[in-house]
Amino acid sequence: MAGRPLDPRVRETILSVTLEQLEERGYQGASIEGIARAAQVGKPTIYRRWADKTLLVYEAVFGAGAPTAAPDTGSLESDLRAFLRTAVEQLERPVAAEAIAGLVGAFKANPAMHQRVFEAWLEPVGRTFDSIIDAARGRGEVSAEVSPRVVLDSVVGMVFFRALMVRRAVDRESQEALLQMILAGISTKGGGR
């Protein structure tokens, strides 16, 4: 027997409060109890939607903004540039850096949760990137040997490293340098421009 449908406004309030709590208290300081109190809901209301804080934080910070629609400009260089800009915008927000630092620890402690988050949210991003490379392959811009996931790791890896470890922005100049390096390695034409 189905219960009463979940109110989408409550969901949005909880996600908004979660972002506020992360900004004010950080990942470790944000708690389900504190989020429930600030959102004026009971803890069971949160747990009906998210199994734990890891899933709640991930959805609040990354769920709605993950690039799941592949850019289709007709050019590998332009598609990669658009994807890279979206990734940088998502990962360089201060709340994203705070969430990632906390999520990495949570994933290490709970590999099953890590797998669940990967399948639910990160895998669609991988499929989006696959479609960029597949389209470029279809246009003859990329050889069949190129692994889309290795290229994706290169793109996201640089952004993660700069945002989290070095604490330096991936400015337009750095984005362009990364883009040209990737194009030189995967393009059948030997590079961009």
CB distance 23 to 95 below 8 Å:
yes
Q: Say what the pTM is.
A: 0.77
Categorize the per-residue pLDDT at 17 as very low, low, confident or very high, splitting at 50, 70 and 90: very high
What's the rounded mean pLDDT across residues 132-158?
A: 90
CA–CA separation, 105 and 52 (whole Å): 14
Please report, rounded to a whole number, the percentage of residues in the chain having pLDDT higher than 90: 41
pLDDT digits (tens, 9 = 90+) for 66-125: 555 678 889 999 999 998 888 888 877 888 888 888 888 888 888 888 887 777 777 888
Report phi then psi at 142, rounded to 5: -135, 140
CA–CA separation, 25 and 33 (whole Å): 13
* CA neighbor of 57 nearest in space, from 93, 26, 87, 88: 26
pLDDT value at residue 33: 97
**Residue indicated by tokens 């989408």:** 8
Largest CA distance in the chain: 60
